Structure formats: structure tokens, C-alpha cells
Amino acid sequence: MTQSAEGVAAAFPADTVTRPSADPEIPAYLQQVYWWAYLHPNAVRLFEREWLVNLILWGNFSRLRDSALAELDASADQRILQVACVYGDFTQRIGDRLGTDAMLDVVDVAPIQLANLRAKLPADARIRLHRQDSSQLHFADGDFDATLLFFLLHEQPEAVRRATLAEALRVTRPGGKVIIVDYHNPRYSNPLRYVMKGVLKSLEPFANDLWENEIADFLPAVPQPAALEKTTCFGGLYQKVIITR
């Protein structure tokens, strides 16, 4: 699909979105596999409904969102990075928690997603949007106290997923947290295991990697995390991984 969203990029003022000197390409997997979910204007019109996102997550959206947010200390002067936009109120909820001197930076590679997020947010100088690729972030080492990856990794081919994780670790300061929420291999006793296997196989071809492997398997050799804690919920269908850098 051609990136018809380019026109959308021009529609939001330059001072509300920063771009590196060369705009990143829309990755091939997004264009080929996920155009219907994130790139087509009808996708935003269809999916920007919290009840629908909640339905896709079997009623767990707020639970998963709040579980990620509970890991944040957004008070004081914390600097937080959200890698990739999310349908629903994920970013607004982070914004609600920001202390006066805290900052939230949000990165996405798709202009249409950034425009959609901008329209959902109140004017707030503490929240900045950037058009960047998660596998090649334009931030300095250790810039952030916490970095969030919410349901991004299962959408990425392995090489991109590895690069995204390496970049998330790089831009998070030593002692800071990388907070990941995503799919996980459910227990055999979970009846949704069999439904989701089919759904993910037909719609999300890279998601099976998160069923077959631990997220830790995709981490770079360096830096070694100070700690890694994994919890699962909803019969093991979802996981939260907290990496302390």
C-alpha cells in the first residue's frame, strides 16, 4: 500500500511533532501485514474505539494498561518514552500522571498514528510526539527513566524486534525500567489458546514468536539487565516484563 498518510503528516503543525533529519520509511511489515490496522485512514476510524480495543483484548484493555502504568513513577522530573502509539486512552492516562517537570515522549513511524494521537491529547508542553522508527531511535543513551512497549513486539519481525529492544535498553538510563506488555503463550487449560492461535496465525504472523520464546531471548548480549521480572495474566495469554536496566 502506498503511504497515503503522508498528506496527514503535513496536516499537523511542525512544532507539535519532531522528525529526525530524514523521515523513516514505513517498514515493509507495516505496509504489507498491518496496513488495515494502522496505516489506512479507515483503520483509525474503525479501531479508535476503546470498546473495540477492549474486545480484541478479551476485556483486558484497562487491566493491561493500568498494569503498565503502575510501573511508572511519572512524578517529579521523570522522563518517559512510549514507543508506538496505542488506540484508546493509553497516552492520555500517562499524561494524567505526569509531574510538573516530567516529560513524555511518544514515538511512532506512521504519520497517521501521530496525527490521531495528537488529536486525542490536550495541549501539553510536557508531551512530545516524534516520527521515528523504534529500531533506530534518535535519542541519546540513557535519556529516559522509563520506556514503554505496549503490544508492539508481537507485530514486529524478529530482526526488528531485536533492534527495538536494543534501542529501548540503550535510551533507558541504568537503573531505569523498560516496561513491556504483550502476548504470551497461554496455558493449555486456557480455552482461548486455540482461538488465539488461529487468530494470530492468520492476522499477526510474527506473534507466534512470543508464544515460542521468552522476550529475554530477543535481548542484546550487552547491556545485561540488572533485573528481569515476568508476570502473566488471563490464563497466561498476556505477559508483563519489567527489565531494570
In the complex with ligand SAM, the residue whose CB is nearer, 38 or 74, is: 38
Would you tell me which residues interact with ligand SAM (CB under 6 A)?
27, 30, 38, 53, 84-88, 107-110, 113, 133-135, 150-152, 155, 160
Smallest distance from ligand SAM to CB 238, Å:
12
Smallest distance from ligand SAM to CB 129, Å:
11
Dihedral over alpha carbons 92, 199, 134, 186 (to 10 degrees): 80
Print the SS3 string covering 186-222.
CCCCCCHHHHHHHHHHHHCCCCHHHHHCCHHHHCCCC
Smallest distance from ligand SAM to CB 148, Å:
10
Smallest distance from ligand SAM to CB 39, Å:
7
Smallest distance from ligand SAM to CB 175, Å:
25
Which residue minimizes CB distance to ligand SAM? 84
Any bridge partners for residue 144, and if so which? 172
In the complex with ligand SAM, the residue whose CB is nearer, 6 or 77, is: 6
Gyration radius of the chain's alpha carbons: 17
In the complex with ligand SAM, the residue whose CB is nearer, 10 or 159, is: 159
Smallest distance from ligand SAM to CB 27, Å:
5
Question: Backbone phi, then psi, for 126, in 5-degree steps?
Answer: -85, -5
What distance in Å separates the CA atoms of residue 76 and residue 102, rounded to the nearest whole number?
Answer: 6
Q: Where are the alpha helices (DSSP H) in 58-157?
A: 61-69, 90-97, 111-120
Show the cell assigned to 213. Answer: 520464546
In the complex with ligand SAM, the residue whose CB is nearer, 53 or 103, is: 53
Q: Are 173 and 241 in contact (CB under 8 A)?
A: no
Q: Dihedral sign for Cα 208, 213, 216, 219, please.
A: negative
In the complex with ligand SAM, the residue whose CB is nearer, 21 or 189, is: 21
Three-state secondary structure call for residue 126: coil
Smallest distance from ligand SAM to CB 76, Å:
27
In the complex with ligand SAM, the residue whose CB is nearer, 113 or 172, is: 113
In the complex with ligand SAM, the residue whose CB is nearer, 101 or 181, is: 181
